[in-house]
Amino acid sequence: MITLLGNPKRTCGGITRRDVLTAGGLSLFGMTLPDLVRAEQSARSLPQTGKAKSVILIYLFGGPPLHDTFDPKPDAPVEVRGEFGSTPTSVPGVHYCELLPQMAGWMNRSTLIRSATHPHNDHSAGLLYTMTGKRAAKLESAVPVLPTQAPSMNSVIQYLARNEERELPASVWMPCYTGWGQASVRPGPYGGFLGRQYDPFMTGCEPYSDKECKYAYPERVKGKIVLPEMNLADGISIDRLDTRRSLSQQFNDEFRRVEQTQAIDRLDQSRRQAFDLLTSANRPNSPWRAFSTENEDVRLQDRYGRNLYGHSMLIARRLIESDVRFVTVTWEVFEKLNIDQDGWDTHQRNFHILRNHRLPVLDQAWSALCEDLDDRGLLDETLIVVMGEMGRSPKINAKGGRDHWSYCHNVLLTGAGVKHGHVHGTSDRIGAWPASDPVSPESLIATIYAAMGIDTTASIYDQSGRPHPIAQQGTPLSDVLT
């Protein structure tokens, strides 16, 4: 929820009014104001010259099976290879699952990593590790969100862009925070030791389906992205709101005395963004209109697919056009709404779920996104990443499903900054373990940063001014990058 005016508590910039009023003589987050400014000045900024100007991350939460997506095993025993055949891609010798024919046509613009691996065989721990490059302090069934955790890729981008004058946030997370559909909050997307002011901007959504469902019997999720506080309160006109906005800027003398610090600049920018968001429904030229698809050609909307994920990927393209630098689209589990209680976590009826509800939606929306970006000349400066927090087990279980398996999974990188028509690493005969060139979350994250032109040896600073490695000691994959 956006709070626009008169907030006595912590602002979007992470400072309270009391902090500001006493900044001349007291500590701020354990630092004096000069210390804070020096730390800010010494930190790196978001580069503008990387081959991948922007990133769209399609996060298949739950764990997509490599066998049934990008690394089919046609020669493996039937209890491993499963029910699906394979289809050739646009790169000779590389095959995808037969239900991904459109995605297969873009392999000549992609790098496929077939040897991603980590030991955290759990959804929340895997999400945290793959989004931040740092393992959970304790492997448990419900890893909490902690301020000591490393920041997500989204949050690092938000942090690096903190001094930019921009109309929209630098990073966005859609369609909702991970766990919302299960009435929980999972770690991974957040600012961690950078502070909550660097959380990505998170949208809400209005999901629905044609009928309710039960576990292992999902329906396709329809719906749309919504923004917080899209409407003004009853009785508040735009003129009145603008007057209140002006009054709110009349800070007392002590507040104005430190107005030129970078911290206050962030506060003013956050208030401007909050005002723009709150009034966007009433202003046709609002930058927040990037979240609306109402003016898009209906044929293009049909091309993406009339479902929540097609809608989200179309908005992702619009956000990239509006200079948002990192957009994550996650596949949420909507258990509390009795729509989709599985996501990609297919412990039962794996092949029915993938055949009817997962792979066709992904194939259509992802390929539409690539085509749309390419038609607009944006694919050569946008990196599209497809991944999950884990994979699925090689052996099919007694209920026709595949279980958790983080030890070998795939990552697909398409577009800017990576080699085209390239496969990095291999899995073994049954897709259980990397057979060559294993890739850790740290290295994958470092590779994404390097594609964006970010110095992976640089440091980022926590709220006490302590430096941390930006890529958690990960080394970029040199044979993947261009």
Nearest to 94 by CA among 82, 106, 83, 84: 106
Q: What is the pLDDT of residue 38?
A: 45
User: For a pLDDT cut of 70, what percent of the chain falls above it?
Assistant: 82
Does residue 61 contact residue 333 with C-beta atoms inside 8 Å? yes
User: For a pLDDT cut of 90, what percent of the chain falls above it?
Assistant: 75
Q: What is the pLDDT of residue 47?
A: 85
Is residue 21 predicted with pLDDT exceeding 60?
no
Is residue 265 predicted with pLDDT exceeding 60?
no
Convert the pLDDT of each residue in 82-109 to its tens digit: 999 999 999 999 999 999 999 999 999 9
**Cα–Cα dist 132/150, whole Å:** 6
Looking at the DSSP bridge assignments, the partners of residue 28 are 31
Structure tokens at 213: 């469902």
Convert the pLDDT of each residue in 191-220 to its tens digit: 999 999 999 999 999 999 988 889 999 999
Q: What is the pLDDT of residue 267?
A: 52
Phi-psi domain of 328 (left: phi exceeds 0; alpha: psi -120 through 50; beta: other): beta
**Cα–Cα dist 416/180, whole Å:** 32
Convert the pLDDT of each residue in 428-455 to its tens digit: 999 999 999 999 999 999 999 999 999 9
- Beta strand segments in 321-480, E: 326-330, 382-387, 391-392, 404-405, 409-415, 422-424, 426-427, 434-436, 459-461, 467-469
Is residue 35 predicted with pLDDT exceeding 80?
no
Q: What is the mean pLDDT of residues 140-161?
A: 96
Is residue 44 predicted with pLDDT exceeding 70?
no
Q: What SS3 state is found at 85?
A: coil
Q: What is the mean pLDDT of residues 9-35?
A: 37
Q: What is the pLDDT of residue 59?
A: 98
Is residue 25 predicted with pLDDT exceeding 70?
no
How does the average pLDDT of the chain come out, rounded? 86
Nearest to 149 by CA among 139, 159, 137, 161: 137
What one-character DSSP code corresponds to residue 291? G
**Cα–Cα dist 349/358, whole Å:** 12
Convert the pLDDT of each residue in 352-390 to its tens digit: 999 999 999 999 999 999 999 999 999 999 999 999 999
Q: What is the mean pLDDT of residues 32-59?
A: 71
Please count the residues of the chain: 482
* Rg of the chain, C-alpha, whole Å: 23
User: Could you tell me whether strands 326-330 and 54-59 are parallel, antiparallel, or unpaired per DSSP bridges?
Assistant: parallel
Burial tier of 66 (Cβ tally within 10 Å: 0-12, 13-18, 19+): buried
42: confidence class by pLDDT, cuts 50, 70, 90: very low
Convert the pLDDT of each residue in 270-323 to its tens digit: 667 777 787 776 778 889 999 999 999 999 999 999 999 999 999 999 999 999
